[in-house]
Amino acid sequence: MERIFGRPIVTQEEMRARIKELGKQIAADYAGKDFVLVGVLKGAYAFYADLARAIRIPMRVDFLIVTSYGSQSKTSGRVKVVTELTEDIRGKDVLLVEDIVDSGLTARYLIKKLAKQKPKSVKICTLLSKPERRTIDVPLDYVGFKIPNKYVVGYGLDYQQKYRNLPYLAVLDMEGEQE
């Protein structure tokens, strides 16, 4: 890492504790259902791996790889799905796992896309939400942390594809960055 980050906005301990709670809640809500946990890559990879292991009920795992167009630190709202699901989700209860919901455009797009495959239900679990930035009113069923309007990296989240492997969440200091 060529950049030194300051105090984490969410520490590894806070993350672990919150994910344990989310896992218990999700397990209680989905027990006995035909449950598919769908991760949105790349951003959700770290959260997904920890969350899936905290949900102690049978599940299928699947992934969508998504890229967004436009500048690196702002969402253009144009989402490109690079790979499709491998599981047939018809009649199943799907929980979409996102890294962060910012404007809400990506989440709405993915919900609509999955709904076309006729699942029994589709809900969203996002590690982070930036409510101040929301332009689309998308219902978030499970939220790890609400954060202020700051650009964050680490624990799966990137800035120009870097810092995803930082083990905690940190605010990126944009000074000197070319957006």
3-state secondary structure of 153: strand
- Tally helices (H) and strands (E) across the chain: 3, 8
Min separation Cβ 62 and ligand IMP, Å: 17
Do strands 121-129 and 35-41 pair parallel, antiparallel, or not at all (unpaired)? unpaired
Residue 117 beta carbon to ligand IMP: minimum distance, rounded to whole angstroms = 21
Question: Toward ligand IMP, which CB reaches closer, 33 or 164?
Answer: 164
Instruction: Indicate whether 100 belongs to the interface with ligand IMP (CB under 6 A).
Output: yes
What single-letter DSSP state applies at residue 88? -
The binder of ligand IMP chosen from 55, 101, 114, 127 (CB under 6 A): 101
Q: Which residue type does 59 have?
A: M
- Least distance (Å) from ligand IMP to the CB of residue 43? 5
Rounded CA-CA distance 26/37 in Å is 11
For strand 79-83 and strand 60-68, is the pairing parallel, antiparallel, or unpaired? Answer: antiparallel
Is residue 125 within the footprint of ligand IMP (CB under 6 A)? no
Q: Does 104 bind ligand IMP (CB under 6 A)?
A: yes
3-state secondary structure at position 64: strand
The Cα–Cα gap between 174 and 8 comes to 16
Q: Decide: 84 and 116 in contact? Cβ < 8 Å.
A: no
Q: How far is the CB of 151 from ligand IMP (least distance, A)?
A: 4
Distance CA 31, CA 28 (A): 6
**Contact flags string 16-45 toward ligand IMP, x per CB under 6 A:** ---------------------------x--
Binding of ligand IMP by 72 (CB under 6 A): no
With CB under 6 A as the contact rule, the residue among 30, 35, 47, 151 that binds ligand IMP is 151
Residues tagged active-site: 102
- Residue 93 in the binding site for ligand IMP (CB under 6 A): no
Give me the residues that bind ligand IMP (CB under 6 A), please: 43, 75, 99-107, 151-153, 157
